[in-house]
Amino acid sequence: MKFILPALLALVGICTTAYGQNDSNAVVVLHTKIDGFIGKNQNDSVIFYAKTALELSKKINYKQGIAKSLSSEGIGYMHKGEYPKALENFFTALSVYESLKNKNGILVQYGNIGIVYDNQNDNEKALEYYSKALEISEETGDRKHASIQYCNIAIVYTKKGMLPKAGHYFMKAMEMDSIMGDRDGVARNLINLGSVFLDRKLFSDALGYFSRGLAIAEEEGNKSQMAGCLVNLGYAYMDMKDYKTAETYMLRSIKTLEEVDDLNLKSEVEKLVSDFYIEAGRHKEAMQHYKAYVSLRDSVYNEENTKKSLAAEMNYGFEKKQAATQFEHDRIVYELEAENKLHRQLRLFLIIFIVLVLVLLFFAKRAYDNKKRIAEFMGSESERKEVLLQEVQHRINNNLQIISGLLTLQADNAGDAKLSECLHQSRRRIESLSVVHELLYKSDASLTIKMYQYINQVLDFHRSIALAGTSKVTIETTVTDTGFASKYAVPIALIVNEAVTNSLKYAFDANTGGKIFISLLPVKNEAGKWRLYISDTGKGLPEENNFRKDSLGIRLVSIMSKQIGGILTKSNSPGATFEVVFTMLE
pLDDT at 291 over 50: yes
Whole-angstrom distance, CA of residue 415 vs CA of residue 406:
16
Whole-angstrom distance, CA of residue 32 vs CA of residue 371:
54
pLDDT at 540 over 80: yes
Q: By the 8 A CB rule, do 120 and 90 touch?
A: no
**How many CB atoms within 10 Å of residue 565?**
13
- Check residue 1 and give its pLDDT: 47
Sign of the Cα torsion 430, 435, 441, 444 reads negative
pLDDT at 12 over 50: no
Whole-angstrom distance, CA of residue 16 vs CA of residue 102:
15
Please name the residues in contact with 510: beta carbons below 8 A apart, sequence gap of 6 or more. Answer: 470, 471
Mean pLDDT in the chain? 80
- Closest CA relative to residue 87, chosen from 65, 131, 61, 119: 119
Q: By the 8 A CB rule, do 455 and 496 touch?
A: yes
Greatest mean pLDDT among 132-141, 321-330, 412-421 lies in 132-141
β pairing state of 483-485 and 529-536: unpaired
Average confidence (pLDDT) over 185-203: 87
Whole-angstrom distance, CA of residue 583 vs CA of residue 196:
57
Q: By the 8 A CB rule, do 256 and 232 touch?
A: no
Q: What share of the chain is helix, strand, coil (3-state, %, to 5)?
A: 75, 10, 20
Q: Please count the residues of the chain.
A: 586
E strands of 429-524, at which residues? 448-450, 473-479, 483-485, 514-522
The one-character DSSP state at 101 is T
pLDDT at 460 over 90: no
Q: By the 8 A CB rule, do 146 and 168 touch?
A: no
Beta bridge partners of 449: 484
Q: pLDDT tens across 124-183, in order?
A: 999 999 999 999 988 988 888 888 888 889 888 888 888 888 888 888 888 888 888 888
Whole-angstrom distance, CA of residue 575 vs CA of residue 541:
7
Whole-angstrom distance, CA of residue 564 vs CA of residue 341:
44
Predicted confidence band of residue 530 (pLDDT cuts 50, 70, 90): very high
pLDDT at 315 over 60: no
- Check residue 19 and give its pLDDT: 36
420, 448, 462, 487, 559 from 430: Cα distances, Å:
15, 20, 14, 16, 17
- Name the CA radius of gyration of the chain, rounded: 33
- Check residue 440 and give its pLDDT: 57
Cis peptide before 542 (omega within 30 of 0): no
Q: By the 8 A CB rule, do 547 and 507 touch?
A: no
Whole-angstrom distance, CA of residue 187 vs CA of residue 220:
9
Average confidence (pLDDT) over 107-120: 92
β pairing state of 514-522 and 567-572: unpaired
- Closest CA relative to residue 76, chosen from 107, 108, 35: 35
- Check residue 179 and give its pLDDT: 86
Which pTM was predicted? Answer: 0.43
Whole-angstrom distance, CA of residue 419 vs CA of residue 538:
25
pLDDT at 411 over 80: no
pLDDT at 89 over 70: yes
Q: Give the HSE-up count for residue 305: Cα atoms under 13 Å, Cβ half-sphere.
A: 22
Whole-angstrom distance, CA of residue 219 vs CA of residue 208:
17
Sign of the Cα torsion 279, 213, 197, 293 reads positive
Q: Choose between 399 and 87: higher pLDDT.
A: 87
Q: By the 8 A CB rule, do 477 and 496 touch?
A: no
Q: By the 8 A CB rule, do 19 and 61 touch?
A: yes
Q: pLDDT tens across 548-571, in order?
A: 545 777 888 999 999 999 999 998
Whole-angstrom distance, CA of residue 567 vs CA of residue 572:
17
- Check residue 334 and give its pLDDT: 54
Q: Taking the C-alpha atoms of 86, 88, 91 and 95 in order, what is their torsion angle to the nearest 10 degrees?
A: -130
Whole-angstrom distance, CA of residue 418 vs CA of residue 457:
26
- Closest CA relative to residue 197, chosen from 224, 170, 226: 170
Predicted confidence band of residue 353 (pLDDT cuts 50, 70, 90): confident
Q: pLDDT tens across 354-381, in order?
A: 888 888 888 888 888 787 777 766 666 6
pLDDT at 331 over 80: no
Q: Choose between 413 and 291: higher pLDDT.
A: 291
Q: Which three-class secondary structure string do you get for 292-357?
A: HHHHHHHHHCCHHHHHHHHHHHHHHHHHHHHHHHHHHHHHHHHHHHHHHHHHHHHHHHHHHHHHHH
Beta bridge partners of 531: 521, 581
Average confidence (pLDDT) over 67-90: 92
Whole-angstrom distance, CA of residue 172 vs CA of residue 192:
12
Predicted confidence band of residue 335 (pLDDT cuts 50, 70, 90): low
Q: pLDDT tens across 18-73, in order?
A: 334 456 788 888 888 888 888 777 888 899 999 999 998 998 899 999 999 999 99
Please name the residues in contact with 564: beta carbons below 8 A apart, sequence gap of 6 or more. Answer: 487, 488, 491, 492, 580, 582, 584
Predicted confidence band of residue 192 (pLDDT cuts 50, 70, 90): confident
Which amino acid is located at 567 in the chain? I
The region of weakest confidence among 167-171, 265-269, 542-546 is: 542-546
